[in-house]
Amino acid sequence: MIFIIAAIAIPVLLIIWQISIYNGLVTMRNRYKNAFSQIDVQLKRRYDLIPNLVETAKGYMKHERETLEAVIKARNQAVQVEKQVAADPSNADALGKLQKSEQQLSGVMSRFFALSESYPDLKANQNMMQITEELTSTENKISFARQAFNDSVMSYNTQREKFPNIIFANLYGFNEAPLFELDNPAEERQNVRVSFT
């Protein structure tokens, strides 16, 4: 009798244990996907602000057409790549492309702001000051959202790699999730300079 109960109880307990591991991995994966959605919101806000910034600057920076076009081109590329990552934040290739496009966008934005320093009327423009203030705020929110995403990814990856979770993770296709990092951490820590004083 005890052997019959044990023969039934042990497989049932193993199934419950496996279900628990599976559900835990699903929960962790959904958390990091949700964390990326917060980045997604802030990136879209940033992408929406950039054309307004360029449009405001056009009247003042007529001789800087190449720089203005480079900003819009980099922004458009980042928008396209961001859509791919938003569809699947676990796609390491797409996330890598987003990281590169974000670095390119930050680079052209830095050049834009450096160039705009030589236009005093532009620096004094109220619309320009408001947009740059919003952009700075958005950059900070992106940094916080990226940190939250990376924390969620780290928790998921840690849970996934624990034994015996790794067995079930591989069995059910829970792949390692990529972090959202920039190649140059020192440069990343610096805020975009938007001083118009």
Alpha-carbon distance of 20 to 165, in angstroms, equals: 10
pLDDT in tens, 118-129: 888 877 788 888
- The domain tally of the chain equals 1
Global pTM reads 0.77
The type of residue at 21 is I
| Average confidence (pLDDT) per 10 residues, the chain, 197 residues | 85 92 94 92 92 84 82 92 90 91 91 83 80 89 92 94 91 91 55 48
User: Which CATH number is 49's domain given?
Assistant: 1.20.1440.20
Domain-located, residue 52: yes
Nearest one of 145, 170, 169 to 159, comparing CA atoms: 169
The range of the structural domain enclosing residue 121 comes to 2-188
Residues 6+ positions from 51 with CB-CB distance below 8 Å: 72, 75
Residue 195 pLDDT = 47
Identify the CA nearest to 77 among candidates 111, 110, 43: 43
Asked if residue 90 is part of any domain, the answer here is: yes
DSSP assignment, residue 172? T
Q: What is the pLDDT of residue 183?
A: 63
**Do the domain assignments include residue 39?**
yes
Phi and psi angles of residue 175, each rounded to the nearest 5 degrees, phi first: -80, 160
Here the tokens at position 113 are 């702001």
**Residue 195 domain flag:** no
Tell me, yes or no, whether 55 lies in a domain: yes
| Cβ-contact 89, 156 below 8 angstroms | no
Residue identified by tokens 């320009």 is: 128
Task: Let me know if residue 21 belongs to a domain.
Answer: yes
Please report how many Cα atoms fall inside a 13 Å half-sphere around the Cα of residue 63, on the Cβ side: 4
Q: Is residue 194, in this structure, part of any structural domain at all? A: no
Is residue 193 one of the residues assigned to a domain? no
pLDDT of residue 188: 45
